[in-house]
Structure 1
Amino acid sequence: MTRCPNLPARLRPFRPRLAAGAVAVGLALALATPAGAQTASRPNQGSAPPYEADMLRLAEMLGTLHYIRPLCGTPDAGRWRDEMQGLLETEQPSEERRGLMVAAFNRGYESYRQVYHSCTPSAELVAQRYLEAGARLSRDIAARYGSN
Structure 2
Amino acid sequence: MIRPTIFLSFFLTMLAPAGQDGVAHAQSSKAASSEVRPPEAQPPKPAPYDDRLARLSEILGAVQYLRTLCPSSGPEDWRKSMSDLLAADTANEPERRQRMTAAFNRGYRSFAAIHSSCTRAAVMAEEGYRNEGATLAQEIASRFGN
For normalisation by structure 1, the TM-score amounts to: 0.66
Residue in structure 2 matched with residue 101 of structure 1 by the alignment: 100
Distance in 1 between residues matched to 2:110 and 2:129, nearest whole Å: 14
Structure 1 residue 127 corresponds to structure 2 residue 114:
no
After TM superposition, the runs of 4+ consecutive aligned structure 1 residues lying more than 3 A away are none
Structure 1 residue 112 corresponds to structure 2 residue 105:
no
Residue in structure 2 matched with residue 65 of structure 1 by the alignment: 63
**Number of residue pairs the alignment of both structures matches:** 105
Letter paired with 2:144:
Y
Superposed CA offset, 1:111-141 (max 9, x none): 1001000011110011101111100000000
Structure 1 residue 56 corresponds to structure 2 residue 49:
no
**Secondary structure, in 3 states, of the residue corresponding to 2:62?**
helix
User: Could you tell me whether the CA contact under 8 Å between 2:57 and 2:104 is conserved in 1?
Assistant: yes
Structure 1 unaligned spans of 5+: 1-38
> Superposed, which structure 2 residues align to 1:1-148 within 5 Å?
46-74=44-72, 76-77=75-76, 79-93=77-91, 94-147=93-146
Give percent identity, aligned residues only: 38
**Secondary structure, in 3 states, of the residue corresponding to 1:73?**
coil
Superposed CA offset, 1:34-59 (max 9, x none): xxxxx9x9xx9822100000000000
Tell me how large the CA RMSD over aligned residues is: 2.0
Distance in 1 between residues matched to 2:44 and 2:94, nearest whole Å: 8
Query: Which of the pair has the greater relative contact order for Cα pairs under 8 Å at 6+ separation?
Result: 1
Distance in 1 between residues matched to 2:72 and 2:100, nearest whole Å: 25
Distance in 2 between residues matched to 1:68 and 1:126, nearest whole Å: 8
Letter paired with 2:111:
Y
For normalisation by structure 2, the TM-score amounts to: 0.67
Structure 2 unaligned spans of 5+: 4-41
Q: Greater CA radius of gyration, 1 or 2?
A: 2
Moved more, 44-53 or 89-98: 44-53
